[in-house]
Amino acid sequence: MTANTWTIAAARDALKKGEITATDLTMACLTAMDAGDALGAYVHKTPEIALDQARAADARLAQGDAPAMCGIPLGIKDLFCTKGVPSQAASNILRGFRPEYESTVTTRLFEAGAVMLGKLNMDEFAMGSSNETSCYGPAVNPWRIDDRELTPGGSSGGSAAAVAGDLCLAATGTDTGGSIRQPAAFTGIVGIKPTYGRVSRWGIVAFASSLDQAGPMTKSVRDAAIMLGAMAGHDPKDSTSADIPVPDFEAALTGDIRGKKIGIPREYRIDGMPAEIDALWHRGAEMLRDAGAEIVDISLPHTKYALPAYYVIAPAEASSNLARYDGVRYGHRAKLSHGDGVTEMYEKTRAEGFGHEVQRRVMIGTYVLSAGFYDAYYNRARKVRALIKRDFEQAFAAGVDAILTPATPSAAFGLGEMSQADPIQMYLNDVFTVTVNLAGLPGISVPVGLDGQGLPLGLQLIGRPWEEGDLLNHAYVLERAAGFVAKPQKWW
Amino acid sequence: MSIDVETARRVAKLARIQVDESDLAALAGELSGILTFMEQLNEVDVTGVEPMTSVTPMRLKRRADVVTDGNIQEAVLKNAPESREGFFVVPKVVE
């Protein structure tokens, strides 16, 4: 097995023992990256930066001053601003943009010695569930069952494809309505969205600021614990970042969940859910019961209204956040005709620079925030959001430690298959994940099995706020019980 | 809620996105579909519920009102489509 297939934990141990150098590990990943172009995962490769960082990591390792992430090669989602490196949010409106600053998350990872291999594909401004709204063209799922190309999910589709295809050891993702957990489930990897405020949003291109949260996408639960520890922590530059200590998440992986109470929310049993997913959900509950947890039925009565509330709130925030793309300070500016003024510059620039889905969401957001509709849509959605959050609070107050649900309503679908469907059909991908963003809770997707066609399926665990350690421990138990070791057959 | 062509034109204008006249009808149809989906929210009894404003119950941090950075004009202008003599350049705004 070449080193690019390793987990973070395995690589960390091998680096510390001197069984491999960070430079050789990075070279193995760069080779895999270059051989993996058919996956469309990397959109800007940074081999020189990677090798510089790897050499620096080797020097630190030699001195014995090496944190866990030292020398670990990562892919970075294109949504993160990386100094001097294109950071486009997969949008034409940011073509040519090279930030003069580094996001807090990448700063922390680099300070811990991590290596950046390149920037990863995604849906434009993280708006999409299939990576098909990307200005670069879609990333492709390493998993396939016939000659069709399947989506790796979205919006962190490039991250998911790169991790599942072993084009890196792990990747950063971001999750506004399911953008870490859904692609993780579609590609058979682990993805955690932390509690809102756990990871700094500074330097991450904003989509919906009250919902956005970054997290790791990894090959194992242990890796997620290690990498989250390096990403998390208070940042004065993000006013919503929590000023609380970051525990040792890896140390929380005891494998002991005896006496824990796992809630099974009845409202997540939706119409038309494939029988295989229902069966997987049952099996997951049995695994946790066999490990000594108590399984209880719970009710989260406002679940049904999460998607419509999300599709008011997220576009409303997006319409405000994306107002900054005006052709003045950075990115694309349209060619103007004689006599065009500043308004024409804005309108033409935004029409040329934003793709169809982004335009649609900005306009929906504009409408729900406009005079006369603000109360009917936006304020009502925020009230429903408060009720969704309260549902979870009541479940936790009744003693529930974690909630188990399916991660997605289906396995990965074919690229292009949803192109004729109305937008709502695509939005339904987020039906199990979006509640977690609305309530600000931590959620993790764990690969648990393959469907009848041979495609990976995941389950989601939802935890109490700030209890990522406990949540990861539940995920660790589920991972060990499920014993998911399948890998996609290499075709690229 | 059904969005007509006139409303679609107004929303596009507010969002500062140029939409061709021939595309407005299709846009109106798409927006109507999404808004109809959102209308499920009207089934929920929200009497006495405060709109959620903060995701986690925390007070926003304060800091002393002092300059913490600056003197980075070059960096600020680095990515501008057009700049001159230390300023962003835009089409003429005042006649």
Here the tokens at position A42 are 């990397």
Does A266 reach chain B within 8 Å, measured CB to CB? no
Burial zone of B64 (CB within 10 Å; 0-12 exposed, 13-18 middle, 19+ buried): exposed
| Mean pLDDT, chain A, whole residue set | 97
The Cβ-side half-sphere exposure at A148, using a 13 Å CA radius, reads: 12
**Average of pLDDT values for A344-360?**
97
Question: 216-245 in A: which are within 8 Å (CB) of B?
Answer: 236, 239-240, 242-243
Tell me the longest C-alpha to C-alpha distance in chain A: 74
Q: Which of A384, A434, A441 to mutate to test the interface with B (most CBs of B within 10 A)?
A: A384
The average pLDDT across A174-187 equals 98
Q: pLDDT band at residue B53, thresholds of 50, 70 and 90?
A: confident
Nearest to B93 among A305, A326, A341 (CB): A341
Average pLDDT of chain B to the nearest whole number: 92
Contacts of A426 in chain B (CB under 8 A): none
With an 8 Å Cβ cutoff, are B43 and A341 in contact? no
> What is the model's pLDDT at position A38?
98
- Asked if A73 reaches chain B (Cβ–Cβ under 8 Å), the answer is no
- Residues of A with Cβ-Cβ distance to B35 under 8 angstroms: 364, 367, 377
Share of chain A above pLDDT 90, in %: 96
> ipTM of the predicted structure?
0.95
φ, ψ for residue A397 (rounded to 5)?
Answer: -65, -25
If you ran DSSP here, which 8-state letter would residue A333 be given?
A: -
Q: Does residue B43 contact residue A309 with C-beta atoms inside 8 Å?
A: no
Tokens of A307: 């998607």
Give the CATH fold of the A3-256 domain: Amidase signature (AS) enzymes (3.90.1300)
Whole-number CA gyration radius for chain A: 21
Q: What is the pLDDT of residue B95?
A: 63
Q: Is A55 on the interface with B (CB under 8 A)?
A: no
**Closest CB to B55 among A210, A343, A368:** A210
Q: Do A309 and B41 touch (CB under 8 A)?
A: yes
What are A430's two structure tokens?
């987020």
Instruction: Name the minimum distance, in Å, from the CA of A378 to any CA of chain B.
Output: 9
Residue B5 has pLDDT above 70, yes or no: yes
Q: Which residues of A are catalytic?
A: 77, 155, 179
B82 sits in which H/E element? none
Mean pLDDT of A4-31: 98
Instruction: Tell me the per-residue pLDDT of A277-333, one tens digit each, with 9 for 90 and over.
Output: 999 999 999 999 999 999 999 999 999 999 999 999 999 999 999 999 999 999 999
CA distance B3 to chain A (A): 10
What does the pLDDT read at residue B58? Answer: 77
Instruction: Provide, as residue numbers in chain B, all residues whose Cβ is less than 8 Å from the Cβ of A335.
Output: none
Q: Which residues on chain A are in Cβ contact (under 8 Å) with B33?
A: 422-424
Residue B1: band (very low, low, confident or very high) from pLDDT cuts 50, 70, 90: low
Q: Rounded to the nearest 5 degrees, what angle is found at the Cα of A448, between the Cα atoms of A447 and A449? A: 110
**Measured distance CA(A486)–CA(A195) in Å, rounded:** 29
CA A40 – CA A154 distance, rounded (Å): 13
Cβ-proximal residues to A16 (8 Å cutoff; 6+ apart), any chain: A61, A66
C-alpha distances out from residue A435 to A158, A178, A326, A443, Å: 24, 9, 32, 10
Region A260-288: what's the mean pLDDT? Answer: 95
CA B23 – CA A16 distance, rounded (Å): 60
**To which residue do tokens 């069966």 refer?**
A279
pLDDT of B32 above 80: yes
For range A341-354, the mean pLDDT: 97
Tens digit of pLDDT for each residue in B61-95? Answer: 888 999 988 999 999 999 999 999 999 999 988 76
Residue A422 pLDDT greater than 90, yes or no: no
Q: Does A210 touch chain B (CB under 8 A)?
A: yes
Task: List C-alpha distances in Å: A238 to A196, A203, A267.
Answer: 12, 9, 35
Residue B42, burial from CB neighbour count under 10 angstroms (0-12, 13-18, 19+): exposed
Answer yes or no: are the C-beta atoms of A218 and A9 closer than 8 Å.
no
Amino acid B54: pLDDT: 84
Strand boundaries in A353-476, DSSP class E: 402-406, 443-450, 456-463
Contact residues on chain B for A379, CB-CB shorter than 8 A: 51
Q: Which of B17, B35, B49 sits opposite A359 (nearest CB)?
A: B17
Tell me the chain B residues in contact with residue A366 when contact means C-beta distances shorter than 8 Å.
Answer: 11, 14-15
Which secondary-structure segment (H or E) carries A30?
helix A22-35
User: How near does any CA of chain A get to the CA of B46, in Å?
Assistant: 6
Cross-chain residue pair A312–B38, CB shorter than 8 Å: yes
By CB atoms closer than 10 A (0-12, 13-18, 19+), residue A483 is: exposed
Tens digits of per-residue pLDDT, A51-83? 999 999 999 999 998 999 999 999 999 999 999
Neighbours of A283 (CB within 10 A): 14
How do residues A454-485 score in pLDDT, each as one tens digit?
999 999 999 999 999 999 999 999 999 999 99
In chain A, % of residues over pLDDT 70: 100
- Predicted pLDDT at A90: 98
pLDDT over threshold 80, residue A1: no
Q: What is the mean pLDDT of residues A29-39?
A: 98
C-alpha distances out from residue A359 to A80, A124, A347, A349, A362, Å: 21, 11, 11, 12, 5
Of B14, B49, B81, the CB nearest to A366: B14
The reported pTM is 0.97
**Residue A272: other Cβ atoms inside 10 A:** 7
CB contact under 8 A, B52 and A389: yes
